[in-house]
Chain A
Amino acid sequence: KAGVTQTPRYLIKTRGQQVTLSCSPISGHRSVSWYQQTPGQGLQFLFEYFSETQRNKGNFPGRFSGRQFSNSRSEMNVSTLELGDSALYLCASSAGLERRNEQFFGPGTRLTVL
């Protein structure tokens, strides 16, 4: 089975722009979660989607949004980029929402905001 794929792998944007990141989960997985990783804050949960519905959301401003499509692929969008949004954005897929399910992470998208 192919793993979780994320595109693009690297991205450079300027302040004020918006960006869309894409995540393709493992085939058959219906849950997709997004995380932000920075040196200062570590790994922080952004949101989680299951069957095209947002099930959980972390403590991030409304500039961060996401969606999931019927084929379970997911996108996250960050509008009005700020310097502090520079981070590694990780996507993880899981077979379901049960607490015992493991999450499989992609390689991440490295976003740099100038």
Chain B
Amino acid sequence: DAKTTQPNSMESNEEEPVHLPCNHSTISGTDYIHWYRQLPSQGPEYVIHGLTSNVNNRMASLAIAEDRKSSTLILHRATLRDAAVYYCILRDQGGKLIFGQGTELSVKP
């Protein structure tokens, strides 16, 4: 299973943009990049995914490097409700998600 590397923790101020990085140097050509987040005392929640091109949805944007060896999840205006653990996952086959340690994001008012 391909691995991802994320910082253990990050801090942000409320209403400011947040850029969460993820390195995945061993990504294969068919791996999708998925991002999930887990709020305290809840199950993980899907955020966004992409293959090669940058992606936007109502929650966030995903910027994928041209060589696909890294990606960045962008929260355009962080709110207190965005405080969570963010997981960057490479999905290579079937339905299984291989979670790493993720990045714990704290948001200061």
Contact = CB atoms under 8 A, between A and B. Distances in A.
Interface string A40-53: 00111100101000
Interface residues of A, number: 27
Contact of B31 (A55, A99, A106): A99
B32 A48 contact: no
State the main secondary structure of chain B at its contact with A.
Answer: loop
Contacts, number: 65
B57 to A, nearest CB: 11
B99 to A, nearest CB: 4
Interface of B: 30-32, 34, 36, 42-46, 49, 51, 87, 91-102
Interface of A: 4, 31, 33, 35, 42-45, 48, 50, 55-56, 58, 90, 92, 94, 97, 99-108
